[in-house]
Amino acid sequence: MTIISQILHARDQRASYRKQFADNGLPSLSVSLNIAGYPKHNHSTKAFFAIIISDLKEYLKANGITILEQKEINITDNDGDFYIAPLSADSDVISIKQITEQYEANHPAGRVIDIDITTTTFEPISSGKRKKCIVCSNQAAVDCMRSQNHSVTEVREVTFNTIESFLLSHRDSFIKRELSSYLLKSILYEISLTPKPGLVDTANPGIHTDMNYYTFVNSTSILTTYFNDIIDLAINNKMAKLETVLPQIRYIGIKAERNMFDQTNGVNTQKGGIFLLGLSAYAAAYTVVNHGLFDVNMCADIIKTICADIVKNEIESGKAENSHGIDCYNKYGNKYGGARLEAQNGMSTAIKYGFNIFNRSGIEMNRNSNKKVLDTHLFAALLNIMANNCDSNILFRSNEEILEGFKNAAQKAYCRIKNGEEPQSALNHLTTYCNYHRISAGGAADLLSVAIFFYLCKQEFGKVN
């Protein structure tokens, strides 16, 4: 059979589906793609078509249109990708045609999509509207076709570019939605973990007198929108020069900080977290959109590049406004650079002591709601970070000796958790220590969020081993 006769045969087959539904008293809705020339389908059209069908079904549902899904047919034949399903017998086919035309008109790749409605008398519904040509937007497609204004090659090129750019932006939206939810989840997991020695949790405010669980809920509630803006930075300027993006990330971070203080009446709940998670959000988005996958080492390198020399430029130079990290750095030396040092090191503490705990265990975190399992892993990561982090939040309120005592106590609690002891008793000594010395490892809490975020990214976008 020649290609032409194969295509005609496929079209006959499609017509027979419509006829069958019509014979049973059912109008039908069918979808195909406008692909000039041959072949009429490939890997991209298949991906595109699947997205369109799923999306169109939601659109139809939203508009109160019933398709009989149990009778749907979804095939790829010599004429390309094809979907057909009967509509309910009492459907108002004229208005359905108008509604599907709106779908085509508003869709960014609408000129590639053909939605046909066939009546119970086996006739196509036509609104008489003429679709614009995909190459030259000002003329009707049928006129260009009749006058042979464009070569098949040209039409195919524009068509496939339209499909590819739709797939790309669809993928970008998916990445953004996922990363955004992980950022929020990483903060919620950290703040929900209870009991946390010294820190605010759902049961008590730790050693803090100016904030509690709800203060964190209030400030957390506004952060998603800013993190989305940071993800957009990476998506809208792919392959940006990393050495130059810090001010752009900060520009958004500063707005987030101002809104945080507004929500908490001036209490600093998450300033360090905004900085560290903001950088992590950018690096994760950059990695996934440019390399197609998440890799924690790649992410670390990106953050190192973005924040190269930040300690020298901002702390040593005395340029940065006051922070615990800066005070501790000046007083106790270069081990203590707070969030800036952690960023300059590519989140080395969060990755080494937090992320690696999750990664080694392989815990399924994305859709897990097993409290005991999550608690155990989250406590292990938090305590391991506490036992190894030079937390300027603690040092600022005490001295090196108390910080070392805290790290030792955290190390012991970590071992007890690892040995299966219940958190309540394993954390007892550490909690007493924090309360006695009035210290709170706010830095470790931020690093736990970063570790959770990276691990969630890895589980969704990581390399398949």
Nearer Cβ to Zn ion (139/398): 139
**Least separation in angstroms between CB 41 and Zn ion:** 23
**Least separation in angstroms between CB 104 and Zn ion:** 17
Separation between Cα atoms, residue 277 and residue 272, nearest integer Å: 8
Separation between Cα atoms, residue 194 and residue 458, nearest integer Å: 25
Cβ proximity of 322 and 331 under 8 Å: no
**Least separation in angstroms between CB 137 and Zn ion:** 8
Burial class from Cβ neighbours inside 10 Å (0-12, 13-18, 19+) for residue 308 reads middle
**Least separation in angstroms between CB 33 and Zn ion:** 18
**Least separation in angstroms between CB 113 and Zn ion:** 18
Q: Which residues contact Zn ion by CB under 5 A?
A: 133, 135-136, 139, 144, 149
Nearer Cβ to Zn ion (135/326): 135
**Least separation in angstroms between CB 141 and Zn ion:** 7
Separation between Cα atoms, residue 392 and residue 441, nearest integer Å: 8
Separation between Cα atoms, residue 457 and residue 281, nearest integer Å: 10
Separation between Cα atoms, residue 5 and residue 247, nearest integer Å: 61
**Least separation in angstroms between CB 105 and Zn ion:** 17
**Least separation in angstroms between CB 311 and Zn ion:** 59
Nearer Cβ to Zn ion (141/380): 141
Nearer Cβ to Zn ion (4/105): 105
Nearer Cβ to Zn ion (35/296): 35
- 426-432 contacts, C-beta under 8 A, 24 or more apart: 426/379, 427/195, 427/197, 427/379, 430/197, 430/198, 430/383, 430/386, 430/406, 431/195, 431/197, 431/198
Instruction: Please state whether the peptide bond connecting residue 195 to the residue before it is cis, i.e. omega within 30 degrees of 0.
Output: yes
Separation between Cα atoms, residue 169 and residue 113, nearest integer Å: 17
Nearer Cβ to Zn ion (68/145): 145
CA-based torsion, 366, 370, 376, 379: positive or negative: positive
Nearer Cβ to Zn ion (15/136): 136
Cβ proximity of 141 and 133 under 8 Å: yes
Nearer Cβ to Zn ion (157/375): 157
The single-letter DSSP state of residue 69 is: G
